[in-house]
């Protein structure tokens, strides 16, 4: 009984020390000596080419407390002048007194912080030492960081769509690591994207982490239900482009035909008919090799000669310049405001490419011939 009382007493004291952040509670745990942080550089230009290399190294003296504890340690980043109201952190081992962050790691932190890519950002950094809910901070050091625009193929979660159709689409048949992907723009287990099949009754499944472990297919009813055990392959009944959505957590999926073309009064056939895209397996893009566009009209891209699915600007008419790729938006994904169109700044014959391999970053490029 005495031993039980002793254990309960220790637990109760620990609760008093760590249960809240009030001044009187923190006074029980005193920081005898504040931590001190330094870095090996004050200006960092990040590069995706050397993404795995160290970008910056930190060294610190640990906080000292009046009682023996094992706190956690994080380097905290914030935009200068915002007093860390919005911040991101990078974890280091509890016993560490130094550590580095790679170009890819620091770039991801800057992306999540809201730093502007491709320009110099003024960043404040400090060491955050946490003991329960109580936090203690080091001195603040100032950095300039130039992030790069992150590769959306690496930023957004994805699942793979291996199948017997993939080789003809420029990938490899039944190879999770070399197949089209569905991405999750919301990072919420809801994936979507496009595949192209050249033959009717082409079969496919869904995998994750570019591996067969945990693969999912139809439950056999072909009513949009996914299972991991006892699954059967999903079929694309006819050849063409398919828009696929999969909820990995809810185990559901859907698939609809979506063959796109350009339409508008900037094109030779006006608003009356479409000029269809052709899939190019070498570039994995949808292409119109040559079409005349005028400057007085406008255009957009629709699927299946219908208005339910359209690629267009996000919110207002947009004038395109030859050779400049832009992000384009799919209206059925509720990413478009109004009904905007595209225009060109110079009349002439154009090659048009739609890169739909990543649903978090659909890309449109026009090139004057």
Is residue 299 within 8 Å of 341, Cβ to Cβ? yes
Task: Report pLDDT for 114.
Answer: 93
Domain assignments of the chain as residue spans, ordered by start:
31-146, 152-257, 260-368
For residue 154, pLDDT beyond 90: no
Query: Predicted confidence band at 131 (pLDDT cuts at 50, 70, 90)?
Result: confident
pLDDT digits (tens, 9 = 90+) for 294-326: 999 999 999 999 999 999 999 999 999 999 899
- Measured CA to CA in angstroms, residue 334 lies from 37, 163, 305 at distances of 45, 29, 20
Task: Report pLDDT for 150.
Answer: 81
For residue 16, pLDDT beyond 60: no
pLDDT digits (tens, 9 = 90+) for 269-295: 999 999 999 999 999 999 999 999 999
Task: Report pLDDT for 69.
Answer: 79
CATH architecture under which domain 152-257 falls:
Sandwich (2.60)
Task: Report pLDDT for 258.
Answer: 98
Is residue 301 within 8 Å of 310, Cβ to Cβ? yes
pLDDT above 90 covers what percent of the chain?
85
For residue 52, pLDDT beyond 60: yes
pLDDT digits (tens, 9 = 90+) for 54-81: 999 999 999 988 888 778 999 999 999 9
260-368 has the same fold as 152-257: yes
- Measured CA to CA in angstroms, residue 302 lies from 120, 193, 263, 271 at distances of 39, 16, 7, 11
**Span 150-165, average pLDDT:** 92
Question: Is the pLDDT higher at 7 or at 76?
Answer: 76
Task: Report pLDDT for 19.
Answer: 41
For residue 22, pLDDT beyond 80: no
Task: Report pLDDT for 176.
Answer: 98
Chain mean pLDDT for the chain? 92
For the domain spanning 260-368, the CATH number is 2.60.40
For residue 14, pLDDT beyond 60: no
For residue 51, pLDDT beyond 60: yes
pLDDT digits (tens, 9 = 90+) for 208-247: 999 999 999 999 999 999 999 999 999 999 999 999 999 9
Task: Report pLDDT for 70.
Answer: 78
Question: Is the pLDDT higher at 26 or at 75?
Answer: 75
Which residues fall within 8 angstroms of residue 186, CB to CB, at 6 or more apart?
none
Is residue 19 within 8 Å of 132, Cβ to Cβ? yes
Task: Report pLDDT for 21.
Answer: 43
Task: Report pLDDT for 133.
Answer: 85
For the domain spanning 31-146, the CATH number is 2.60.40.10
Is residue 218 within 8 Å of 205, Cβ to Cβ? no
Which residues fall within 8 angstroms of residue 58, CB to CB, at 6 or more apart?
37, 38, 39, 40, 75, 98, 99, 100, 101, 125, 127
Distance (Å, rounded) from C-alpha 287 to C-alpha 354? Answer: 6
**Span 127-151, average pLDDT:** 93
For residue 9, pLDDT beyond 50: no
**Span 137-154, average pLDDT:** 93
Neighbouring C-alpha atoms within 13 Å toward the C-beta of 304: 11
């Amino acid at each position: 009984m005495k031993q039980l009382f002793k254990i309960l007493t220790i637990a109760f004291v620990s609760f008093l020390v760590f249960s809240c952040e009030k001044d009187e509670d923190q006074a029980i745990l005193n920081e005898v000596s504040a931590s001190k942080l330094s870095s090996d550089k004050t200006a960092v230009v990040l590069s995706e080419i050397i993404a795995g290399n160290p970008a910056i190294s930190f060294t610190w003296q640990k906080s000292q407390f009046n009682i023996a504890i094992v706190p956690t340690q994080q380097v905290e980043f914030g935009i200068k002048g915002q007093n860390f109201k919005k911040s991101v952190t990078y974890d280091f081992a509890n016993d560490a007194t130094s550590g580095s962050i790679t170009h890819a790691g620091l770039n991801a932190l800057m992306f999540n912080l809201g730093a502007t890519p491709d320009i110099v950002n003024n960043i404040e950094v400090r060491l955050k030492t946490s003991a329960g809910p109580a936090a203690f901070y080091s001195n603040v050091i100032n950095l300039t960081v130039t992030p790069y625009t992150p590769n959306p193929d690496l930023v957004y979660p994805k699942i793979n769509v291996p199948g017997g159709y993939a080789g003809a689409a420029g990938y490899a048949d039944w190879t999770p690591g070399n197949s089209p992907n569905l991405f999750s723009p919301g990072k919420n287990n809801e994936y979507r994207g496009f595949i192209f099949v050249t033959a009717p009754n082409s079969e496919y499944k869904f995998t994750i982490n570019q591996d067969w472990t945990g693969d999912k297919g139809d439950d056999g009813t072909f009513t949009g239900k996914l299972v991991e055990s006892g699954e059967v392959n999903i079929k694309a009944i006819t050849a063409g482009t398919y828009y696929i959505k999969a909820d990995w957590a809810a185990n559901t999926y859907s698939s609809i035909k979506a063959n796109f073309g350009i339409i508008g009064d900037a094109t030779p056939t006006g608003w009356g008919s479409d000029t269809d895209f052709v899939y190019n397996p070498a570039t994995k893009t949808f292409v119109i090799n040559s079409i005349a566009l005028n400057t007085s009209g406008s255009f957009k891209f629709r699927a299946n000669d219908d208005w339910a699915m359209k690629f267009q600007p996000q919110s207002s008419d947009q004038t395109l310049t030859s050779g400049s790729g832009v992000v384009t938006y799919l209206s059925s994904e509720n990413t478009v405001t109004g009904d905007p169109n595209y225009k060109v700044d110079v009349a002439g014959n154009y090659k048009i490419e739609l890169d739909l391999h990543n649903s978090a970053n659909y890309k449109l490029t026009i090139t004057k011939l």
